[in-house]
Amino acid sequence: MGVSDHPSRISVHQALGGGSVADFLLWRRWCGAAVFLVSASSLWFLFERGGYNLLSFVANVVLLLVVILFLWAKSASILNRPLPPLPDMEISEESVVKAADVIRVWINYALSVARDIAVGRNVKLFLQVAFGLWVVSYIGSLFNFLTLVYIGVVLSLSVPVLYDKYQDYIDDKLRVTHRVVQTQYKKIDDNILRKIPMAINKGKKTQ
C-alpha cells in the first residue's frame, strides 16, 4: 500500500501545520533540531546527573544576561556605540486572545467531562478518566517532571520523522491494534459495564 493509494491523505508535514515548526520537527531544518536536541540532552544531564538545581540555574543565567546587557548599555553610551540589539519585548493582544481561547476550550471540555461524571453518572466515562489518571500517576511515579519533559522533547523530535518515513506500515499496525482494542472493549462493555445498574435521572421523574 503506497502513498499513491491515498491521494487525498494529508501528509505529516501538513498535519503539523506545514510551517517552520513542521520543518523543525521533521528534521528538514536539521541544524536547529540537532542543536535543540543536544541542548536539551545537556541540560537534562546537568540537572539529573550533575546535581544542579533548575531554579538556581535559571536565576544565575538570567542574572548573567542582565549584567551583560547592563554593562553593554553603559559602555555603549560612554563610547557612542550601538545599544544591544533587543527585540520589542511585549506580548501582543492577539497572542493573548488566541492563548485564552485555547485554554477556554480545554477548561470547558474538562468541566463537561466532570459534569457528565458527577451529574450524568456516566460509568463508562468515569472508568476511562480513572484509568487515564492512574496511568498518569503511574508514569509520574517512575520519572520526575524534568525527565518527563526531556522524554517529551525526544519523542517530539523522533516520532514525527519516524511516522513520516514509515507511515504506511505504522498505519497498518495501528488499524490492527485499534480493532483489537475495540473488540476487547466491546467484550468488557457487554459483560461488565452494561450490567452495572444506571442511576435513574430524577429530573425525568418530576416532569
Q: State pLDDT tens for residues 61-120.
A: 889 988 988 888 888 777 777 776 666 667 778 878 888 988 999 899 888 888 887 776
In angstroms, rounded to a whole number, what is the distance separating the alpha carbons of residues 32 and 35?
5
Please give the distance of CA 164 from its chain centroid, rounded to a whole number.
19
Q: Residue 18 to residues 5, 11, 153: CA-CA distances in angstroms? A: 22, 9, 19
- pLDDT classification of 206: cutoffs 50, 70, 90: very low
Count other Cβ atoms within 10 Å, centred on residue 30.
12
pLDDT per residue as tens digits for the range 140-155 = 888 778 888 888 888 8
User: What is the residue whose three cell numbers read 544531564?
Assistant: 45
pLDDT per residue as tens digits for the range 144-188 = 788 888 888 888 888 888 888 888 888 888 889 888 888 887 777
In angstroms, rounded to a whole number, what is the distance separating the alpha carbons of residues 117 and 19?
39
Residue 41 has pLDDT above 80, yes or no: yes
In angstroms, rounded to a whole number, what is the distance separating the alpha carbons of residues 156 and 145?
16
Predicted confidence at residue 103, as pLDDT, reads: 92
- pLDDT classification of 197: cutoffs 50, 70, 90: low
In angstroms, rounded to a whole number, what is the distance separating the alpha carbons of residues 45 and 43?
5
Residue 8 has pLDDT above 60, yes or no: no
Report the b/e string of 146-173 with b at 16+ CB within 10 A: eeeebeebeeebeebbebbeeeeeeeee
Of 15-24, 36-45, 57-66, 191-200, the least confident: 191-200
Predicted confidence at residue 3, as pLDDT, reads: 44
Residue 195 has pLDDT above 80, yes or no: no
Residue 117 corresponds to which cell in the numbers above? Answer: 461524571
Predicted confidence at residue 201, as pLDDT, reads: 46
Closest CA to 81 of 89, 71, 92: 71
In angstroms, rounded to a whole number, what is the distance separating the alpha carbons of residues 129 and 29?
38
In angstroms, rounded to a whole number, what is the distance separating the alpha carbons of residues 152 and 173?
23
Its sign, for the CA torsion 129, 133, 138, 139, is positive
